[in-house]
C-alpha cells in the first residue's frame, strides 16, 4: 500500500515526465497494479495537475521568489500538484500541504521542503487574490498554451471560449450500442434494470450517455459485444460513410477499431472491409475489438500515404480516412495534449494529412465516397486541407451538406462561418456540443 505522500510523489513524477520529457500520461498510467483507491487518487492528481498545468504554473510564478524555470523539475512538478489540490479539489487544505511537503521527502528533495511549505501556505492565504490576478489572462484562466488560445480565437471567433471551457470538463462516458443486438432504447432498458441512468444523443442514433462512469465489464453484454465505449462525435463517421450492400470499404488509419466495428454493425452485407493501420501493435487492438464484437475484416499493416506497398489494385466504393492530427478536439480526454503539442507541429501535421488524402484518393471508384475525419479543432488541419484538395482535384466534389441533410439545421448551427477568402467545406463540430468531442468531417464524392 502506498502512503498519501508516496501517491503525490508519483503524481509529481508523472507531471514532470509529461511536461519536461514529452511522455504520454495515458502510457505512464497504463497497466499499473495500484489498489483501486490509490489508483483513483493517482489518476485524479496526475490528470488534474496536467489539465490545469498552465494556470497552476501562472499561480506558481506569483508565489515563488525565484524563477520557476530555475526550479528543479521535480520540485516544480510537486509544487504544481500541491497547488492543484488547493485550488481545484475538495481535499482538505492541511492534508494537501502536509502530504505534498512529505512527498518531497519521499523523493529525497529534503532541501525543497521549506520552499514548498512556504508556497502552499501562501496559496492558502491568498488563493482568491491569486486566482483573480492570473485569470485576467485567458491562457491562464483556461489553462491552455498561448499559441493554442490564439489559434482557436482566430478559427472560432465566437466560440473560442466555449471550446476552451469544454476542453477542461471531465470527459463524458459515451457508449455505442451494437445495432446487430439491440436498438438504443432496448439497451437503455437493460442499463436501467441495473440501476444505471442514461440519456441519448441528438445526433448519433446508437449513442448512449451514462450519467456516471462505470467499469466497462459491468455493462450488460459488454463481453458479448452488445456495446462499446466511443464518443458520440466519433460515431457519426460510419453514418456519413453511408455504406451500401456489396461495396468494398477501406478504413484507413483504423486503430483502435471503433469505427471499423461500427461500419460493420450498420452494414453487415458489404463485400469486404479492409482495416489499415501503420502500427502493428495498434492493429492488435483492432483485432481484439473485432473478436469481441464477432466481426470480420481484412487487416493490413501499412501506411495510407504509401498505397503501393499494400494495395491489391481493386478500388474501394467507400473510404474512411481518419487522419493523424493534433487531437485538439479531444483535450478533455487527453489533457497532456496541451503540453505535448507545439505550434510548429501543426503545419507538419496538415502537410501529412494533405499527402495522405492525395495518395488515398486514386483508390476510390468513380461515384464513390471518401469521408475525411479528424479530431482536431484547428482549420489548418480541416477545412484548409479539404479546400486545397478540392482546388487541385476537378474530380472531387464536397457533398457534406447532402450527407448531413438528416441533421437539418444542426450542421449549420455548429459550423463557424468561413474566414475571408476561404470556402466553407465540411462539418466542424466544436468540443462540448451536446457533450461531444470536437470533430471535423468532410464527405467527398468522386465524379464519374
Catalytic residue numbers read 375
Among candidates 258, 252, 301, which has minimal Cα distance to 281? 301
The answer to whether the peptide bond before residue 128 is cis (omega within 30 degrees of 0) is no
Residues facing 208 on adjacent strands: 175, 200
CA distance 353 to 370: 14
Contact yes or no for 326/303 (Cβ under 8 A): no
> Could you tell me which residues are beta bridge partners of residue 374?
440
In Å, what is the CA distance from 250 to each residue of 234, 270, 279, 324, 356?
17, 11, 16, 16, 14
Which residues contact residue 215 at a Cβ distance below 8 angstroms, ignoring those fewer than 6 apart? none
What's the 3-state SS for 20-62? HHCCCHHHHHCCCCCCHHHHHHHHHHHHHHHHCHHHHHHHHHH
Per-residue b or e along 278-298, where b marks 16 or more CB atoms closer than 10 Å to that residue's CB: beeeebebbeebbeebebebe
Closest-CA residue to 414 (of 263, 261, 203, 110): 203
**CA distances to 60, 197, 425 from 12, in Å:** 15, 35, 43
Residues 291 and 293: their CA atoms lie apart, in Å, by: 5
Q: Which of 303, 189, 195 is nearest to 253 (CA)?
A: 303
C-alpha distances in Å from residue 335, one per residue of 32, 112, 209, 273? 20, 28, 21, 33
Length of the chain: 448
Amino acid at each position: 500500500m502506498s502512503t498519501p505522500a508516496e501517491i503525490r510523489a508519483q503524481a509529481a513524477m508523472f507531471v514532470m515526465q509529461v511536461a519536461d520529457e514529452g511522455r504520454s500520461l495515458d502510457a505512464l498510467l497504463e497497466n499499473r497494479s495500484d489498489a483501486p483507491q490509490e489508483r483513483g487518487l493517482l489518476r485524479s492528481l496526475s490528470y488534474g495537475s496536467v489539465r490545469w498545468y498552465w494556470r497552476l504554473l501562472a499561480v506558481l510564478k506569483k508565489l515563488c521568489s525565484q524563477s520557476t524555470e530555475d526550479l528543479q523539475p521535480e520540485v516544480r512538478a510537486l509544487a504544481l500538484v500541491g497547488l492543484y489540490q488547493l485550488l481545484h479539489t475538495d481535499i482538505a487544505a492541511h492534508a494537501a500541504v502536509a502530504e505534498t511537503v512529505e512527498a518531497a521527502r519521499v523523493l529525497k528533495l529534503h532541501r525543497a521542503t521549506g520552499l514548498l511549505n512556504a508556497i502552499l501556505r501562501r496559496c492558502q492565504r491568498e488563493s482568491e487574490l491569486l486566482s483573480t490576478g492570473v485569470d485576467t489572462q485567458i491562457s491562464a484562466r483556461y489553462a491552455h498554451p498561448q499559441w493554442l488560445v490564439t489559434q482557436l480565437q482566430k478559427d472560432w471567433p465566437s466560440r473560442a471560449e466555449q471550446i476552451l471551457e469544454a476542453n477542461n470538463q471531465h470527459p463524458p462516458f459515451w457508449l455505442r450500442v451494437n445495432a446487430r443486438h439491440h436498438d438504443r432504447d432496448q439497451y437503455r432498458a437493460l442499463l436501467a434494470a441495473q440501476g444505471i441512468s442514461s440519456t441519448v444523443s441528438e445526433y448519433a442514433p446508437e449513442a448512449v450517455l451514462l450519467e456516471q462512469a462505470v467499469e466497462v465489464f459491468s455493462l450488460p453484454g459488454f463481453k458479448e459485444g452488445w456495446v462499446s465505449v466511443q464518443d458520440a462525435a466519433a460515431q457519426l463517421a460510419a453514418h456519413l460513410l453511408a455504406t451500401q450492400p456489396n461495396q468494398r470499404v477501406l478504413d484507413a488509419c483504423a486503430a483502435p477499431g471503433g469505427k471499423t466495428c461500427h461500419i460493420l454493425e450498420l452494414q453487415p452485407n458489404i463485400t469486404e472491409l479492409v482495416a489499415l493501420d501503420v502500427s502493428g501493435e495498434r492493429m492488435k487492438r483492432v483485432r481484439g475489438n473485432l473478436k469481441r464484437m464477432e466481426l470480420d475484416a481484412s487487416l493490413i499493416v501499412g501506411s495510407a500515404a504509401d498505397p503501393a506497398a499494400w494495395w491489391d489494385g481493386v478500388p474501394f466504393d467507400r473510404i474512411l480516412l481518419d487522419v493523424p492530427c493534433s487531437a485538439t478536439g479531444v483535450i478533455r480526454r487527453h489533457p497532456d495534449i496541451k503540453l505535448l503539442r507545439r505550434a510548429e507541429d501543426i503545419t507538419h501535421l496538415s502537410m501529412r494529412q494533405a499527402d495522405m488524402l492525395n495518395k488515398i484518393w486514386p483508390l476510390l471508384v468513380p461515384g464513390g465516397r471518401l469521408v475525411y475525419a479528424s479530431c482536431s479543432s484547428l482549420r489548418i488541419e480541416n477545412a484548409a486541407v479539404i479546400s486545397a484538395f478540392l482546388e487541385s482535384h476537378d474530380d472531387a466534389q464536397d457533398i457534406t451538406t447532402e450527407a448531413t441533410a438528416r441533421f437539418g439545421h444542426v450542421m449549420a448551427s455548429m459550423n463557424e462561418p468561413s474566414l475571408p477568402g476561404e470556402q466553407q467545406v465540411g462539418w466542424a463540430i466544436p468540443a462540448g456540443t451536446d457533450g461531444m468531442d470536437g470533430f471535423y468531417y468532410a464527405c467527398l464524392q468522386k465524379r464519374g
